[in-house]
């Protein structure tokens, strides 16, 4: 792995790190303002499958976050890029609210399958249609393969089990585009002019955020909000989870209670404020 250089870019996860559904994580707006006052570039990265970028932006603006649309990179953006690169016509097995992010993409006579979390569409007839396309050689593109996620009423199945069902039935492998895939982080950094060794990822998921970023050479920082609170009760009983977290943090990672201390602790250690002088 290349040596770490002065910090130039910070990738920040959204759900669980800046907000949880319609509530901001306490202090997150202030932390973001302070981050904006430094010379680093800030990008926001998320594995959303059911919210278009515009919806996401509106939610964040309501919570008084100072974020612009071109700073957000989502797994839907990554899926659209791949569809364009491959020049395919996808069957979009995604939530209707995510459709605006595929505006202009040709979807008639499909020859590919894009799958995200689509509870309203996950029934036999539709899944069978996707199955038949895959048997005919259509590529399978998964927004991400999350096993489950947190809803107000408890844990719920993510897109992963449905992607895996199609993989199993057709003996094929999906191209996954969201976190923790390498290409996701590299694409998110594209346009910033930064190498992974000049960037840090802050998120609440030790595998998808911190582990994924570390795999491309970025520094990973875990915040103890969102997902962290979900798996915290199991840390003592689940040896594998405990070891995973320990390993992730040993690989150049750190844990913070929220986003705020990152800023004050970073000044000297990462050159947040002196970065301009070092160049
Ligand atoms: Mg998160």
Ligand 1 centroid to Cα of residue 223, in Å, is 9
For residues 141 and 113, the answer to whether their CB atoms sit within 8 Å is yes
Q: What value does the mean pLDDT take over residues 149-172?
A: 90
Q: Is the pLDDT of residue 93 over 50?
A: yes
Ligand 1 centroid to Cα of residue 148, in Å, is 13
Ligand 1 centroid to Cα of residue 15, in Å, is 4
Q: What is the pLDDT of residue 149?
A: 76
Q: Identify the residue with better confidence: 234 or 30.
A: 30
Q: Is the pLDDT of residue 112 over 90?
A: yes
Ligand 1 centroid to Cα of residue 177, in Å, is 16
For residues 9 and 41, the answer to whether their CB atoms sit within 8 Å is yes
Ligand 1 centroid to Cα of residue 166, in Å, is 26
Q: Is the pLDDT of residue 163 over 80?
A: yes
Ligand 1 centroid to Cα of residue 228, in Å, is 9
Q: Identify the residue with better confidence: 134 or 239.
A: 134
Q: What share of the chain is helix, strand, coil (3-state, %, to 5)?
A: 45, 20, 40
User: What is the rounded (10 degree) CA torsion for 8, 221, 19, 10?
Assistant: 10
Ligand 1 centroid to Cα of residue 153, in Å, is 18
Ligand 1 centroid to Cα of residue 143, in Å, is 15
CA angle 142, 155, 25 (to 5 degrees): 90
Q: What value does the mean pLDDT take over residues 130-143?
A: 98
Q: Identify the residue with better confidence: 140 or 191.
A: 140
Q: What value does the mean pLDDT take over residues 196-218?
A: 90
Ligand 1 centroid to Cα of residue 106, in Å, is 31
pLDDT digits (tens, 9 = 90+) for 225-279: 877 767 666 666 666 656 666 655 555 445 554 444 444 444 444 433 333 332 2
Ligand 1 centroid to Cα of residue 23, in Å, is 14
Q: Is the pLDDT of residue 220 over 60?
A: yes
Q: Identify the residue with better confidence: 155 or 41.
A: 41
Q: What is the token pair recorded at 240?
A: 């594998």
Q: What is the pLDDT of residue 191?
A: 79
Ligand 1 centroid to Cα of residue 205, in Å, is 6
Ligand 1 centroid to Cα of residue 35, in Å, is 19
Rounded percentage of the chain residues whose pLDDT exceeds 90:
55
User: What is the rounded (10 degree) CA torsion for 90, 47, 245, 160?
Assistant: -40
Ligand 1 centroid to Cα of residue 111, in Å, is 32
Q: Is the pLDDT of residue 133 over 70?
A: yes
Q: What value does the mean pLDDT take over residues 147-172?
A: 89
Q: Is the pLDDT of residue 117 over 60?
A: yes
């Amino acid at each position: 792995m290349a040596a770490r250089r002065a910090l130039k870019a910070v990738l920040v996860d959204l759900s669980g790190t800046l907000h949880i559904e319609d509530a901001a994580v306490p202090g997150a707006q202030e932390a973001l303002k302070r981050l904006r006052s430094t010379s680093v570039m800030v990008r926001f990265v998320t594995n959303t499958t059911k919210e278009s970028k515009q919806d996401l932006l509106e939610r964040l603006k309501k919570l008084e976050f100072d974020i612009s649309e071109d700073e957000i990179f989502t797994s839907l953006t990554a899926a659209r890029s791949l569809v364009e690169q491959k020049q395919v016509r996808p069957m979009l097995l995604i939530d209707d609210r995510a459709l605006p992010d595929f505006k202009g993409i040709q979807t008639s006579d499909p020859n590919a399958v894009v799958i995200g979390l689509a509870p309203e569409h996950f029934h036999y007839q539709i899944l069978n249609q996707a199955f038949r396309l895959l048997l005919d050689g259509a590529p399978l593109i998964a927004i991400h393969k999350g096993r489950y996620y947190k809803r107000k009423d408890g844990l719920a199945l993510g897109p992963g089990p449905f992607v895996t069902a199609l993989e199993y039935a057709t003996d094929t492998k999906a191209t996954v585009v969201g976190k923790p895939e390498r290409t996701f982080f590299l694409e998110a950094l594209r346009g910033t002019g930064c190498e992974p060794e000049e960037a840090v990822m802050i998120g609440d998921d030790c595998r998808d955020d911190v582990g994924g970023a570390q795999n491309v050479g970025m520094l990973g920082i875990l915040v103890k909000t969102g997902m962290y609170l979900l798996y915290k009760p199991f840390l003592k009983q689940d040896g594998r989870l405990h070891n995973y977290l320990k390993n992730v943090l040993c690989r150049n990672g750190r844990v913070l209670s929220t986003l705020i201390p990152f800023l004050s602790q970073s000044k000297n250690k990462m050159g947040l404020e002196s970065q301009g002088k070092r160049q």
